[in-house]
Structure 1
Amino acid sequence: MDNDSALADPSSATDSLDEYDIDESSSVDDGTLVYDRYLDRELSWLAFNQRVLELAEDTSLPLLERANFLAIFASNLDEFFMVRVAGLKRRIDTGLAVPTNTGRAPIDVLEELSTAAHALQERHAAEFTNSVKPALDAEGIHIETWADLGPADRERVHEIFSSQIFPVLMPLAVDPAHPFPYISGLSLNLSIRVRNPKTQKEEFARLKVPSVLPRFIQLPDDGSDQLRYIPLEDLISNHLDALFPGMEILAHHEFRVTRNEDVNVDEDESENLIKSLEKQILNRRFGPPIRLEITDDMDEVTRGLLVRELKISEQEVYRLPAPLNLSGLFQLTRIDRPALKYPRHVPTTSESLMPNEGNERADIFRAIAHKDVLLHHPYESFSTSVQSFLEQAAADPHVLAIKQTLYRTSGDSPIVEALIDAAEAGKAVLALVEIKARFDETANISWARKLEKAGVHVVYGLVGLKTHCKLALVVREEEGVLRHYAHIGTGNYNPKTSRLYEDLGLLTANDQVGKDLTRLFNELSGYAIEKKFKRLLVAPRHLRKGLIKHINAEASNARAGLPSGIRIKLNSIVDEAIIDALYRASNAGVPVDLVVRGICSLRAGVPGLSENIRVRSVLGRYLEHSRVFSFHNDGDPQVFIGSSDMMHRNLDRRVEALVRIVEPDHIAELEHMFDLAVDENTASWWLDAEGVWVRHGHSEDGEPLNDLQNVLMKRISQRKRGGARR
């Protein structure tokens, strides 16, 4: 899943609830805080990843997509341990008594998380072993073990080992002259016990399975026309005699360590943010271990040695069947077997941005000047909309300036290249690069330096805040007048993930939006302090307050007997003040619909608390990533899209921006999306009053319910003309 995903920021683990203005005024009933009205955020995240696993378990999905969901589950869980579990452990180890969002002690939450995580990992491994792997076998995609190979295969595999694998292996002995080696986070390793036949002395060695090699080694064609693979660690394990000649191999097992890999820089104490961040990135790999995965056949001698040397508790040991690290299944999803995947979808070009007859491409500026354009990716192409907008701006002699935020982008980013082209053409270019974007720090530092060399003005935002908003502003001279052209989105400026993430974006030439963004960019790059914007809600100053104001207005309308309604779509909702405002609205009679992909700390459907609130979760082939906030407003809808989830980190420690949508047809389109998402004939998960997510995937007669993403894909494709370039 995207690291701009439902995973939460571990820095919030050290914050006090007082920071979020959760006081008596935010209570629902009698003015006291009742923590059990919130669901635990960490357990809610595990419930989200369980929903991912349930997709892998769904035999009606294409087989390689099920394998992909297994890989996503494994990758998600790795990051969850590196960040969220690490944050809880840090609070416990440092003696911080700050409770979780439910008021429980961190150590109690950690124990419950451990129990749930153990069960989920065992279920995950069982799904691969008992269902997905046999199904792959039936389709001619075999993951073999050494025991499956005959003499001819073993001879050919020996040649592969000798020529392609053996030269990069580095066995490390453990003895008085060789201390226990450092085990890097998420690396797959072999523990090896050997015996010297002359002295009968037993020794221990560790061998890291090289991550530079494929996770699964393809076996030579045996004439069966089947694809055959063997796990790299299995292949290596059966050639250990080449690594330890003259020694007796007594035992070998696989293991894997997860470490705390969060980066935390004190910006107030840092004279140079980039240098401080680079130092912390180097230190990241030396974080303390927080999980040890071992194969279920590991002997107690080896397990005990690892536990002692890694200083890890028994609770943090996960005993699983081989193979470990099923995120390696991403490799198999690249196999060219269209029948085992979702049908290919080519994004269409937005109807507003289609080129006129005889033209190779559309005049983006003319199209936007004519009318706002609402984009819905990946159903509509990112390359023929946002990317073309910035590329045309870079090449247009009438464009004077471009201002852009960059949180995450791709390795070969055409967006960055457009900014460089614009700077080299003499335009004024400002790029706000968020170098603290977790796990993309190194890449973003590299982009920042490349942009600076090209003459782009690069800034890093405001001290103490991450800049997470998705903004681009172009200033163009037209007949002696300066006009603003803007893009405000819910997702990153990343052409690659735009094909996988569901996101919304607004292209507009509205003068008020342009003025708002000009002032916001001035605040981000200089020392201006803006108090109000006309079409934007901006965090950390006004976003929470603005949304609560709209929520309270709906409650007031409901109490006055006027029509009311709240619909919100987002990745995560944890913020207590927002949740309590929604509870109050529910008690006033406001119907509230939430569509939440990931974490949800709100309890739904509880009598006297939230009986008018429904919560749905939609997962599918695309990562649901857009954020939409819709308020009925007595028939004059107030609808916003933007970058912010309802998390403490978004509302208090990030610069986020929502823009109000004003075109009636755009509002209707977003309302139609909500109608589909909450429809009882749409496949989704429903959150019940006990905090349990229940899947609704089939009708009473067993027929699959409608897939929201498929419905939108077909609807948007049918209303457009032509296709889009990839």
Structure 2
Amino acid sequence: MDTPTVAASTFGDSDMPSARATQDRIELPEFEPALGPSGDFTLDRFLDREISWLHFNARVLELAEDEDLHLLERVNFLSIFASNLDEFFMVRVAGLKRRIATGLAVPSAAGVSPIDQLEHILESARQLQVRHAHVFAEQLRPALAHEQILMTRWSDLDDRSQDELYRWFIDQVFPVLTPLAVDPAHPFPYISGLSLNLAVIVRNPVSGKELFARLKVPDMLPRLVSVDGPRAGNSAGRVARFITLEEVIAQHLEHLFPGMEVVEHHTFRVTRNEDLEVEEDDAENLLQALEKELLRRRFGPPVRLEVASDINPAVRALLVRELGVEEDEVFALPAPLDLRGLGAISAIDRPDLHYPTQVAHTSRFLNESETSKAANVFAAMRRRDILLHHPYDSFSTSVQAFLEQAASDPKVQAIKQTLYRTSGDSPIVDALIDAAEAGKQVLALVEIKARFDEQANISWARKLEQAGVHVVYGIVGLKTHSKLSLVIRREGDRLRRYCHIGTGNYHPRTARYYEDFGLLTTDDQVGEDLSRLFNQLSGYAPRSTFKRLLVAPRSLRSGLIDRIEQEIANRRAGLDARVVVKVNSIVDEAVIDALYRASQAGVSVDVIVRGICALRPGVPGLSENIRVRSVLGRFLEHSRVFLFANAGSPVVFIGSADMMHRNLDRRVEALVRLSNREDISDMASLMDRYMDAGTASWHLDSDGIWTRHNTGADGEPLADIQSWLLDSRRRQRGAVRR
């Protein structure tokens, strides 16, 4: 069996700062900042990244508030908001608190102190969370009731329903409950992160003394209990009633405290610091270090305490004291807490309350004949480069088929693959295992530090090792975030390299609702580039150069900035000049300053960003030629695209990198330049559509405020680009059939 390895950094000491040096404060390349005419943009030319993230989640909440959207999709957006905010506290707020505590925090770009920044973040998050709770209580709960989907209370249930829930409680819930008393003999228990809990006050009927106990609501049981059975609500007109698990438990507390009088109970929830800090000095022990850190994550310090708004002040004070949280970290909210559980309602099979069913079509370049037989991906790739756009183009009949066919093809000699995230029943992993068992050379670079997927990736790594796959854990100090696949196939007396480079993970499930691009190509230059990059990742190749790739941390930032500078030169020479950037987040100061310089030179700059944007558009003398848009909807906009007008001969890159410090300095990222003129033209047209005034989107102004534009001046809805793309694939399919 091959031994898993962790490569030392092969990107060159002079080019790559150490992981520890870059963890909290990035040393940027020396670029002159873009200044306004009076030179007064040195402090406030960047928007605060944490507040920008909260604005992003507010846009998600706006979708939940949108009465024009399908009801159960609105419920889903409410659940997504809750999950997003949990991660924000676990990582971003926790990281800021840690830096403040260790003295590593620095003032923001606008000169705001870390303490003031934290206070502003907490207050902004509090306002959003209260708004979130009110959207559920005042908008969605009544709308669901109108559709016979009811969030009910115990007191509203008939005797029969109460009896059935009592039997279910005794059989399925009571045996797994563990009440924990707090008294001189029992210290205050550890409260795990994101767990929902009941704070229970009981009274001894003999002594009259009141005591406190904590009861964890089991997270292995359904958060919302269906009163009318698992299929309730799956047809219009049929009533579906749900009750929270904590209310069912609360109605039967006497079974947990026999002989005691239950005085009161309150729900609460703790969020803890779950950001990992792994020391990578010893490459051989990276796996063990990460597993140890995952254990420590469970016991991270609290960063937020959520309590029901009607909680007894004395109980609240006890929780604050015992958990060691500050008052501004306490969030009092109307019950029920933890609205992530609404996912159970959003999953109800009511087609009339969901988006219309979407069927991903096989790319027209992979299935030109529309036969039922699976396309020969290798033959299609030899004919031309194939640019895929998921989920509009099927992942299973393209990327997944590519790797499955590679695993079974006797002419394939080797497969090299990066895995950042994948699914629990991954056909990609199965294909790699099949290939190894068939005697092929298989290299899998598994990124075991992928946030919140660490344990799953460790399991995958070990499963792959056991099958004989050579597993590499990456480069010390760097995460491998690039999305790469390289297949080497013998054809006659030569070896041909088949490549896939994508903007998204090799994750068949998320590929159904993440918007991403991928390139399938047999281009010799791309094949050589991928061979060199995989050699860097698995061995020692510190001075590799690339022809069609830009690779972080060495050349990606500088390569993009060089392209921006070329657009500035083209503009000054009277040639076509434009920059379009589509990313999840844009924070990197050097890249933003380059875009400011382009704007000042008269270059049109368009930025399409889903999440965080630290760039401030529309500032006279600084960024008046920059427009920023955000598109959120049915699919999660996840692709990264970089387009340059290049004096009338456009250049387009796609790949894995967002414009953030971590991507450009602490990750291995790869962008590939498209070469097919049709693909380049199609991409330019698509980016124009994203930016078009007739396309529904959010617009960012110079004050950092996002405004939704989803209706025109005539009051008619603006076009939804995701619906347009779905329709375009249906039109293409119809054209092929004809």
CA-to-aligned-CA distance 1:495-536 (integer Å, 9 cap, x gap) = 000001000000000011000000000011001113421000
| 1:157 CA drift (Å) | 1.9
Alignment pair present for 1:235 and 2:248: yes
Residue among 484, 488, 493 paired with 1:475:
488
Task: Provide TM-score, normalisation by structure 2.
Answer: 0.94
Indicate the larger mover: 101-110 or 599-608. Answer: 101-110
The equivalences for 1:359-378 within 5 A come to 360-378=373-391
How has the CA–CA distance of structure 1 residues 456 and 13 changed in structure 2, closer, same or farther, with 3 Å as cutoff?
Answer: closer
Question: What is the alpha-carbon distance in structure 2 between the residues aligned to residue 312 and residue 190 of structure 1?
Answer: 18
Question: For each residue in 1:369-397, what CA deviation from the matched residue of structure 2 results, as whole angstroms up to 9, or x when unmatched?
Answer: 10000000000100000000000000011
3-state secondary structure, aligned to 1:128: helix
Q: How many Å separate the matches in 1 of 2:202 and 2:125?
A: 33
Deviation digits for residues 660-717 of structure 1 (CA, Å, limit 9, x no counterpart): 0111111111112111111111110000111100000112232211111001111122
Q: How has the CA–CA distance of structure 1 residues 460 and 271 changed in structure 2, closer, same or farther, with 3 Å as cutoff?
A: closer
Partner Cα separation in structure 1 for residue 37 and residue 294 of structure 2: 46
- 1:659 pairs with 672, 696, 701, which one? 672
Rounded Cα–Cα distance in structure 2 between residues aligned with 1:140 and 1:269? 59
Q: CA deviation at 1:722?
A: 9.7
In the alignment, the residues of structure 1 paired with residue 371 and residue 347 of structure 2 have an alpha-carbon distance, to the nearest angstrom, of: 38
If asked which structure has higher relative contact order (CA below 8 Å, sep 6+), I would say 2
Alignment-mate amino acid for residue 274 of structure 1: L
1:265–1:280 contact (8 Å) kept in structure 2 = yes
Match status 1:707 vs 2:720: yes
Which runs of no fewer than 5 residues in structure 1 stay unpaired? 1-9
Check whether the contact 1:554–1:566 (CA below 8 A) recurs between aligned residues.
yes
Equivalent-residue separation in structure 2 for 1:216 and 1:511 (angstroms) = 54
- Structure 1 residue 11: deviation in Å? 8.7
Q: CA deviation at 1:63?
A: 0.4
2:103 corresponds to 1:88? no
Cα distance change, pair 356–700 in 1 and its aligned pair in 2 (3 A): closer
**The 10-residue stretch of structure 1 (159-168 or 108-117) with the greater mean CA deviation from structure 2:** 159-168
Q: 1:42 aligns with which of 50, 53, 68?
A: 50
In 2, distance between residues paired with 1:698 and 1:721? Answer: 30
Question: Does the 8 A contact of 1:565 with 1:631 survive in 2?
Answer: yes
* TM-superposed deviation, 1:211: 0.4
Partner residue of 1:158?
Answer: 166
Q: Equivalent residue for 2:24?
A: 15
1:272 and 1:11 map into 2 onto residues whose CA distance is 17
Report if aligned partners of 2:31, 2:590 keep a CA contact under 8 Å in 1: no
Whole-angstrom CA distance in 2 between matches of 1:108 and 1:450: 47
**Partner Cα distance (1:545, 1:220) in 2:** 60
Q: For the residues of structure 1 that align with 2:36 and 2:23, how far apart are their CA atoms?
A: 26
Alignment gaps of 5+ in structure 2 = 1-18
1:620-661 CA distance string (max 9 Å, x none): 000000000000000111100000000000000000000001
Deviations 1:119-149 (A, max 9, x none): 0000000000000011011101111011222
**Aligned partner of residue 268 in structure 1, secondary structure:** coil
Structure 2 SS opposite 1:446: helix
Could you tell me how far apart the structure 2 residues matched to 1:722 and 1:215 are? 47
Partner of 1:521: 534
**Are residues 1:108 and 2:121 paired?**
no
Q: CA deviation at 1:597?
A: 0.3
Give, as a single letter, the amino acid of the residue that structure 1 aligns with 2:577. S
Deviations 1:476-498 (A, max 9, x none): 11111111100000000000000
Q: Match for residue 609 of structure 1?
A: 622
Secondary structure in structure 1 of the residue aligned to 2:688: helix
Describe how 1:22-421 pairs up with structure 2 within 5 A.
Answer: 24=32, 34-220=42-228, 225-269=238-282, 271-354=284-367, 356=369, 360-421=373-434
Query: Which moved further from structure 2: 208-217 or 141-150?
Result: 141-150
Q: Which whole-Å CA distance do the structure 2 matches of 1:721 and 1:446 have between them? A: 43
Query: Which residue number in structure 2 is paired with residue 427 of structure 1?
Result: 440
Q: 1:443 to 1:711 in 2, by over 3 A?
A: same
Query: Are 2:589 and 1:576 equivalent residues in the alignment?
Result: yes
SS of the residue 2:425 aligns to: coil
Deviations 1:38-57 (A, max 9, x none): 00000000000000000000
CA drift at 1:436? 0.5
| RMSD of aligned alpha carbons | 1.9
Tell me the distance in 2 between the aligned counterparts of 1:475 and 1:460.
Answer: 22
d(CA) in 1 for partners of 2:120, 2:736: 50
Counterpart in the other structure of 1:3: none
C-alpha displacement at 1:472, in angstroms?
Answer: 0.1
Query: Match of 1:4?
Result: none
CA drift at 1:359: 6.7
Distance in 2 separating the partners of 1:688 and 1:64: 31
Tell me what 2:13 maps to: none
Per-residue CA distance 1:134-178 (angstroms, 9 max, x = gap): 101110111101122233322222122112211111111111111
Distance 1:609-1:170 versus aligned 2 partners, 3 A rule: same
Q: Letter of the aligned partner of 1:360 in structure 2?
A: K
Change in Cα spacing, 1:377 to 1:12, as seen in structure 2 (3 Å) is farther
1:115 maps to amino acid:
E
Q: Which moved more, 1:555-564 or 1:379-388?
A: 555-564
CA contact (8 A) 2:422 2:507 kept: yes
SS in 1 for 2:241: strand
Distance 2:490 2:207 in 1: 85
CA offsets per residue over residues 231-250 of structure 1, 9 Å max, x none?
A: 00111111111111121111
The residue type equivalent to 1:144 in the other structure is T
Kept in 1, the 8 Å contact 2:449–2:479? The answer is yes
Q: Deviations over 1:300-342 (max 9, x none)?
A: 1100000000000000000000000001011111111000000
Secondary structure of the residue that 1:34 maps to in structure 2? coil
CA distance in structure 2 between the aligned counterparts of 1:78 and 1:115, rounded to whole angstroms: 15
Amino acid at match of 2:201: R
Q: Is the 8 A contact 2:44 2:109 kept in 1?
A: no
Deviation of 1:12 (Å): 9.7
- Alignment partners' CA distance in 2, 1:709 and 1:657: 26
CA distance in 1, matches of 2:667, 2:649: 30
Note if contact 2:532-2:544 (Cα within 8 Å) is conserved in structure 1.
Answer: no
CA distance in 1, matches of 2:540, 2:141: 58
1:685 aligns with 2:698: yes
Quick one: which amino acid aligns to residue 614 of structure 2? S
CA 1:629–1:61 in 2, change beyond 3 Å: closer, same or farther?
same
Residue 718 (structure 1) aligned to one of 723, 727, 731:
731
Local SS of the residue matching 2:61: helix
For the 8 Å contact 2:36–2:621, the answer to whether it is kept is no
In structure 1, distance between residues paired with 2:706 and 2:623 = 16
Which of 641, 645, 667 is matched with 1:628 structurally? 641
In 1, Cα distance between equivalents of 2:134 and 2:577: 47
> Are residues 1:453 and 2:484 paired?
no
In 1: Cα distance, 2:290 partner to 2:674 partner: 37
- Are 1:23 and 1:33, in contact at CA under 8 Å, matched by a contact in 2? no
Query: 1:556 offset after TM fit, Å?
Result: 1.0
Taking the aligned partners of 2:22 and 2:325, their CA distance within structure 1 comes to 21
Change in 2 beyond 3 A, CA 1:623/1:287: same
Distance 1:112 1:508 in 2: 48
Q: CA, structure 1 residues 379+625, in 2 after alignment: closer, same or farther (shift >3 Å)?
A: same
Matches within 5 A, 1:495-644: 495-644=508-657
CA distance in 1, matches of 2:291, 2:724: 45
